[in-house]
Structure 1
């Protein structure tokens, strides 16, 4: 993770996991996970030495073979990129359309706008909608706060539990219908 994204996940008000975005419980240590890290063996990809996961970070910092292994991977990736990352829109973090503060997840953007921009009448483009295939990146919402509360109470991709992906090629009404059907089925 880059520093701004990681900092957004660890905001004191609402720390969330950097991978799944679920809320972290402040002050409670994952003792079962610590024990698993202390007792799980792994092998260094550089020198093939066996060690516990808890020792891997310090070993990797001093193992020249591991550092060479990492550099070879970096060279391979930078030499032949598999795809142009610019062709895939970012649908996970969004800038505030009022003040351009960056790296909000969908829920964070809604909270930010409610807290700081609820009285701002300026017409703005919804960054969430603009990232969707059906979204118009030039459409300015007449009442952005109402739009946020009506359209973005949940995220399509995190609401649909169990699906490894969401079909972003479907239009917005189809997506909404899929989510509603699954919510009724899961009750």
Structure 2
């Protein structure tokens, strides 16, 4: 695990063993919970074992932190030992809890739930005042289960594997991110839509400064020239 702030493992143990330190170095960047069965990737980032498995689902798996190709990974035995031997206060009720038990504690702590809800409200308010003018067209969220950080191929594979029998009409997140996309349009047959519209990467063919009709005309002109 890449330790933030240059802290050594011994210093991490000192800051948490007495229940008074910061536990952010023990939190998975995917689920934002204390690591569960932590594993470390070749690029140096650490995840829960189950969270890493989600990163490995796409045909071209990448690290959820740095987007590097995910290669061999190993169990983070040293980090697991620290989690088993350290305690920290619950951010909701303040009770000292072993890090290995923190997940089960916070799941049942009403004050922690209030703490999370307040954090979400604050985040939404801050985002509404600083919205990025450039939409994210590289990773997408599943319209069925809200699984995040899926690239285009990963979204297609995820939906095909997990939601093939779901008949709900949903908004295509890929189309919605495009300049011509309608964020409120729900596809009647989302899987057919994926096959017809998203079997190639927009990054290769699309000029985002041009509207869809102009691009269609350009494509027709190129096809006539090819003939």
- The corresponding residue for 1:171 is 211
Give the number of aligned pairs. Answer: 119
Partner Cα distance (1:125, 1:119) in 2: 16
Q: Aligned with 1:86: secondary structure?
A: coil
Q: Does 1:126 align with 2:172?
A: yes
On the 8 A contact 1:156/1:175 being kept in 2, the answer is no
What is aligned with 2:56?
Answer: 12
1:103 and 2:149 aligned:
yes
- Output aligned runs, 1:1-150, within 5 Å: 3-4=29-30, 11-13=55-57, 14-16=60-62, 24=69, 26=71, 86-150=132-196
Q: Within 2, Cα distance between the matches of 1:156 and 1:174? A: 15
* Alignment RMSD: 3.8
Which fold has the larger relative contact order, with Cα–Cα distance below 8 Å and residues 6 or more apart in sequence?
2
Secondary structure, counterpart of 2:199 in structure 1 = coil
Report the CA distance between 1:12 and its aligned residue.
3.4
Provide structure 2 residue ranges, at least 5 long, that are not aligned to the other structure: 1-27, 31-44, 73-129
1:66-125 per-position Cα deviation (integer Å, ceiling 9, x unaligned): xxxxxxxxxxxxxxxxxx661110001100000111110000000000001111110000
Task: Provide the TM-score with structure 2 as the length reference.
Answer: 0.42
The structure 1 segments of at least 4 consecutive aligned residues displaced by more than 6 Å after TM superposition are 6-10
Partners of 1:9 and 1:16 within 8 A in 2: no
TM-score by length of 1: 0.50
Residue equivalent to 2:100:
none
Structure 1, gaps ≥5 residues long: 28-83, 161-165
CA offset digits 1:129-180 (Å, max 9, x no partner): 00001000000000001001110001111x35xxxxx520222354466678
CA distance in 2, matches of 1:123, 1:138: 11
